[in-house]
Amino acid sequence: MAVADVLKLIEENDVKFVDLRFTDTLGKEQHVTIPAHVLTEDAEEWFERGHAFDGSSIAGWKGIQASDMLLIADPASAKIDPFFDEPTVFMSCDVIDPADGKGYDRCPRSIAKRAEAYLKASGVGDTAYFGPEPEFFVFDSVTWGTDMSGTFVKIKSEEAAWASAQEFEGGNTGHRPGVKGGYFPVPPVDSGQDLRSAMVLLLEELGVPVEVHHHEVATAGQMEIGTKFSTLTQRADWTQIMKYVIQNVAHSYGKTATFMPKPIVGDNGSGMHVHQSIWKDGKNLFAGDGYAGLSDTALYYIGGIIKHAKALNAITNPGTNSYKRLVPHYEAPVKLAYSAKNRSASIRIPHVANPKGRRIEARFPDPLSNPYLCFAALLMAGLDGIQNKIHPGDAADKNLYDLPPEEDKLIPTVCASLDEALAALDKDREFLTRGGVFSNEWIDAFIELKMKEVNLTRMTTHPVEFAMYYSL
């Protein structure tokens, strides 16, 4: 879409407002709304001028002494919002620093665009395709609290395995998935069919192509909606639209959706497997005649991800909760190995009939990650592997959870905590800063922002500690 198309969209739908959206460092979309006439009075000039806002109020961004920032809307992203009462067009925005007119170095969407530009400048390829699979939970309600008197969290879900003894208005139907029993029985055990279908219809209405939807392994409403791959920045845009639609449809049904990696204890967590490939001149550079139909380029890309995995964890698994998922035996890919068959490996090679679909799948990221940062960081690690021909070694086709101890200790693992990941990022950052994609200032600010989360959890007494230590 061009500017003229946005004007046509506004006119044909009698649009009253324009909603400008951008993503902060944590991955949450922020927005500001203007009357449509502000844009239409001089659209070409408005799209060039942008909308001013206070960048000092965004966590991890500019200080109060240099707070003026600009939102430059992307006309190609314009869509009609399906949830607002008044007709509203929303657009994804780049955050521009008015001091130099360039993408702000801490704007995630600008970082994603710089990663795509670096790929082209490197000569390795011209297009990077990404296909994320964010899982999520839908609960009936959730409550939590932390103060000096104690701390708690309580999840309510009629679908949950633990709800079999509860009384509900209208009675307890008894149909629900057990622990690790949600993949994939038909309704009424799967209670989310109509909810997911409503999400899918809205996603496709908003231009996000859907390929599949289903219940996931865990009880209590774990779900997945599979969508099509696309180029790095657009695919990150689509992921933000997915989160927005999923959370708002759940809200409209009187339920609540979360992308927390590990909201419940004792069952599978939610991952975000990320499919990736690099193309040049219309050719898939990952297709070859090596292991599982991979090229040397693809193997080197895997080598780069494995080499930098611990630093990547800070970006691909950016919450303290992320590491409650990354433990063995819950289908969590903690072992830094690759395989065409073994889902316990952190890198999987999906089976495809057509070489054009050849790709690799990083399985350790989770949906708490900011998609712009996640995809950009994975690309930068993979490019380092290609540029330096980092071979990942032999594939791992054994069950990595049942290896003899002498073999097990030879296979590296992802980080076990966020503070370990942040320390790894601090030491292993040079590959991210090439081409000015990520700046050292951004990395420092990100580590500082995330260490506040680490320290908060360090200082907060956990209820399970009473079970372990109260009577000693």
- Enumerate the active-site residues: 54, 133, 135, 216, 224, 273, 343, 361, 363
* 108-122 vs 371-387: helix crossing angle, rounded to 10: 20
3-state SS, residue 224: strand
3-state SS, residue 287: strand
Instruction: Tell whether 216 is in a known binding site.
Output: yes
Instruction: Tell whether 224 is in a known binding site.
Output: yes
Report the relative pairing of strands 272-280 and 360-362 from DSSP bridges: antiparallel
Report the relative pairing of strands 68-73 and 17-23 from DSSP bridges: unpaired
Q: Are 335 and 453 in contact (CB under 8 A)?
A: no
Instruction: Tell whether 176 is in a known binding site.
Output: no
Instruction: Tell whether 331 is in a known binding site.
Output: yes
Instruction: Tell whether 170 is in a known binding site.
Output: no
Instruction: Tell whether 133 is in a known binding site.
Output: yes
Instruction: Tell whether 430 is in a known binding site.
Output: no
Instruction: Tell whether 158 is in a known binding site.
Output: no
Instruction: Tell whether 275 is in a known binding site.
Output: yes
Q: What is the DSSP string of 355-393?
A: GGG--EEE-S--TTS-HHHHHHHHHHHHHHHHHTT----
Instruction: Tell whether 12 is in a known binding site.
Output: no
Instruction: Tell whether 343 is in a known binding site.
Output: yes
Q: How many Cα atoms sit within 13 Å of 207 on the Cβ side?
A: 16
Instruction: Tell whether 273 is in a known binding site.
Output: yes
**Sign of the alpha-carbon dihedral angle for 48, 54, 59, 60:** positive
Instruction: Tell whether 417 is in a known binding site.
Output: no
Beta bridge partners of 92: 21
Tell me the C-alpha distance between 29 and 24, whole Å. 6
Beta bridge partners of 69: 53
Instruction: Tell whether 277 is in a known binding site.
Output: yes
Instruction: Tell whether 268 is in a known binding site.
Output: yes
Instruction: Tell whether 453 is in a known binding site.
Output: no
Tokens 């600008």, located at residue:
110
Tell me the C-alpha distance between 212 and 337, whole Å. 28
Instruction: Tell whether 45 is in a known binding site.
Output: no
Binding site for ATP: what residues are annotated?
211, 275-277, 343, 356
Binding site for Mg(2+): what residues are annotated?
133, 135, 216, 224, 273, 361
Binding site for L-glutamate: what residues are annotated?
268-269, 325, 331, 343, 363
Binding site: what residues are annotated?
133, 135, 211, 216, 224, 268-269, 273, 275-277, 325, 331, 343, 356, 361, 363
